[in-house]
């Protein structure tokens, strides 16, 4: 099992750092899947995450100038590692103005992902090298089936999201009033966030958001465009998702499966993020 990669372009490095910061906010512990073409950050819907799952994918050649990997075996040319997301983002934070960054799978006292940063400081004539050894756990083959790309469900409504920062500030205030909220949307570009308690109901309406064209219209053919489809979810999970979004996405879609789950599908330049929140139970 081998993995070595190098980043020399500052823009790529910043991009990768931003992704890792986002992952650190979305999941305390996550799985990193390394395959010849891609890197994935995965959170599977275990009990520990409360049913939330996440699938983040990036094309390695868009980030790394050098990339070599050898999986567990020839037929299974992949590597699955479990790590604490914050460690990676902290390590990358020290690489702000690095000349080069290398990531390797190593084994020094314990298996780790070694991030090696070469800094050129104006104050010093020689390079400064900072190395971080991030402890990892190699995930055995038999558990890989639980970590596959989740199938995108047939949603009842698909709608473009409003500005995530606005959503976040709204949901943050709502969190103080209720533990769960209703997210509902229709095919007319309307999205509502609703909370309801004994004393008060608060609804925030977003209009004219637009709906992406769905490939199969069969499900929604019978649906009146004004009809709202809703799902009850845990507010904190929604807030955690929104808090992780520091950058405006290139594309942000919300798919709702009536009373079952909400699926967020984001595109951040060339990196895709899918986040699934199940219905409140």
Q: Is 207 in the site for another protein (CB under 8 A)?
A: no
Which listed residue (11, 74, 75, 124) binds another protein by CB under 8 A?
Answer: 124
Which listed residue (28, 59, 61, 110) binds another protein by CB under 8 A?
Answer: 110
C-alpha distance across the termini of the chain, in Å: 41
Cβ count within 10 A of residue 45: 17
Site for another protein in 51-80 (CB under 8 A): 66
- 3-state secondary structure labels for all residues of 186-202: CCCCCEEEEEECCCCEE
Question: Across-strand partners of 105?
Answer: 113
Q: How far is residue 75 from each of residues 14, 72, 137, 141, measured CA to CA in Å?
A: 34, 8, 21, 12
Contacts of 216 (CB under 8 A, 6+ apart): 154
Which listed residue (14, 131, 178, 258) binds another protein by CB under 8 A?
Answer: 131
Which listed residue (45, 50, 57, 90) binds another protein by CB under 8 A?
Answer: 90
Least distance from another protein to the Cβ atom of residue 6, Å: 7
> Which helix (H) or strand (E) covers residue 265, if one does?
strand 261-268
The conformation of residue 213, written as its DSSP 8-state character, comes to P
Pick the piece of the chain touching another protein (CB under 8 A) from 11-19, 97-105, 179-187, 267-275. 97-105
Number of residues that bind another protein (CB under 8 A): 37
Least distance from another protein to the Cβ atom of residue 12, Å: 17
Pick the piece of the chain touching another protein (CB under 8 A) from 12-20, 31-39, 86-94, 236-244. 86-94
Which listed residue (36, 37, 76, 135) binds another protein by CB under 8 A?
Answer: 135
Vertex 240 angle, CA 14 and 260, to 5°? 125
Which listed residue (130, 182, 214, 239) binds another protein by CB under 8 A?
Answer: 130
How far is the C-alpha of 260 from the C-alpha of 244, rounded, in Å? 23
How far is the C-alpha of 26 from the C-alpha of 272, rounded, in Å? 14
Q: Is 173 in the site for another protein (CB under 8 A)?
A: no
* Interface residue list for another protein (CB under 8 A): 1-2, 4, 6, 66, 84, 87, 90-91, 94, 102, 104-110, 112, 114, 116, 118, 121, 123-135, 137
């Amino acid at each position: 099992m081998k993995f070595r990669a190098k980043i020399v372009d500052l823009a790529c490095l910043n991009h990768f750092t931003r992704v890792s910061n986002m992952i650190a906010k979305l999941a305390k512990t996550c799985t990193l899947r390394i395959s010849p073409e891609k890197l994935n950050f995965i959170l599977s819907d275990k009990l520990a995450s409360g049913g939330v799952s996440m699938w983040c994918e990036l094309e390695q050649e868009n980030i790394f100038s050098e990339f070599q990997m050898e999986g567990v075996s020839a037929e299974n040319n992949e590597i699955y590692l479990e790590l604490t997301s914050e460690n990676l983002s902290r390590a990358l934070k020290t690489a702000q103005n690095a000349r080069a960054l290398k990531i390797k799978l190593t084994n020094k006292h314990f298996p780790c992902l070694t991030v090696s940063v070469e800094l050129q400081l104006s104050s010093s004539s020689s390079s400064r090298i900072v190395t971080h050894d991030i402890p990892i756990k190699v995930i055995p083959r038999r558990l890989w089936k639980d970590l596959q790309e989740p199938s995108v469900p047939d949603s009842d409504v698909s709608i473009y999201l409003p500005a995530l920062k606005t959503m976040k500030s709204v949901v943050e205030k709502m969190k103080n009033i209720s533990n769960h909220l209703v997210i509902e949307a229709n095919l007319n570009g309307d999205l509502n966030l609703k909370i309801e308690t004994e004393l008060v109901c608060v609804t925030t309406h977003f209009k004219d958001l637009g709906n992406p064209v769905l490939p199969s219209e069969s499900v929604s053919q019978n649906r009146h465009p004004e009809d709202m489809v809703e799902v009850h979810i845990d507010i904190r999970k929604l807030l955690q998702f929104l808090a992780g979004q520091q950058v405006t996405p290139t594309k942000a879609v919300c798919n709702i499966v009536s009373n079952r789950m909400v699926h967020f599908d984001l595109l951040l330049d060339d990196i895709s993020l899918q986040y699934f929140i199940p219905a409140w139970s």
